[in-house]
Structures are given as structure tokens and as C-alpha cells.
Amino acid sequence: MNATRETAKRLARAAALVAVLPVLLHYWFWSLVVGHHAAFRGAVQFVSLLPGLPGIYMRGAFLTHTLAGCHPSARVEFGVLFSEPGAELGEGVYVGPRCILGLVRVGKDALLASGVQVPSGGKTHRFDDPDVPIRDQGGELTLVTIGEGAWVGAGAIVLADVGKGTVVAAGSVVTKPLPDYVVAAGVPAKVLRPRFGGAPDA
């Protein structure tokens, strides 16, 4: 039964690659014209709107060939946007509907519920100079890591690393790194307790 299922998945991935090939060709062409980032953002907006199971497979095929890393088993739901092609999705990752992801590395089997936002760190825009518009002050992109097996609840905003196996409650704002195997919540997010006995101290 498992062998049959895996064969069906492989066939579905192959069919999805064929179906999404025109989008990939369009992306590769426009990368030469307008640059890699601009072409990526336009193409990923298009594939984000593909509905149903075919859409999931087609997104996977597109992202596997455009992100810095995307395991074939990663599942990216409807309406997910990426701002940075340097993002990485590990094996078994789930990204829920309408997430917005920047420069992020999501570890194996991590789960992002719907509406999670992971910008490229907390300093994407500087705002120190009152005489210069914020858009002209530049910023700093930082890779945010969400650890293996972590679970980030709906609507959370993650600006700093989340440890392996850690749970972030819905609606939380992570402004400082969270350790492994804890439950965290709040604005800003704070460690509430270890996930289970024997976990590291917070």
C-alpha cells in the first residue's frame, strides 16, 4: 500500500512539473530581463493562486526549482507568498494557507499554521534618520530558522529563530530566539514552560 502511494505521488509530481513548466520558462526568461528577485516574486504570486491538490503539486514543482531548497515532500497551501528565493523548506514541512515567508529555513517536519508571517528578521527596514523616507534607508535581511518539528500557530509573526520541537502559540510575535522544546506565547513571545518532562530549561 505504501509503495503504491509513493508511486502515485511520484507520478503526480512528474505531471505537476510538466504542467508548471510554462511558468518556469516564463520565470527563467524574465530573470534575465528584470532580475532574479523580481521575476521570482511575480511567478510565485501566480502559482500561489492555483487551487486544490493540483495546485499543491504544481507549487511544489515550481518551488523545488526556484527556492534555495525545497524538499519534494514539503506541502505549501493556497495563497502562500515568498519574498526571497533564498528560503528553504525541509522534508515533511507544512506551510498553511496565506503564509508570507521571507528569508527563512524551515526544518524537517515543522508546521506553519495559516497566516504565519516570517519576514527576513527584524531589521528589514531602518528608520533612524528622520530626514530620509523609511523606504530609502535600506535594511538588513537575516535568515530566520524554524527548527525541526516546531509548530507555529495561526497568525504568528516570527522575527527570530524558533528552536527544534518548539510550539509558538497563535498570534504570538517572536522577537528573540526561542530554545528547543518549549511552549511560547505572547507579544512579545515568552517561554511559558517546557513542552514535556526532560526538556531543556528555558
User: Which active-site residues does the annotation give?
Assistant: 125
> What backbone phi and psi angles, to 5 degrees, belong to 99?
-75, 155
| Residues 6+ away with beta carbon under 8 Å from 99 | 77, 79, 80, 81, 112, 114, 115, 116, 117, 118
Q: How far apart are CA 27 and CA 63, in angstroms?
A: 12
3-state secondary structure of 112: strand
DSSP β-bridge partners for residue 173: 157
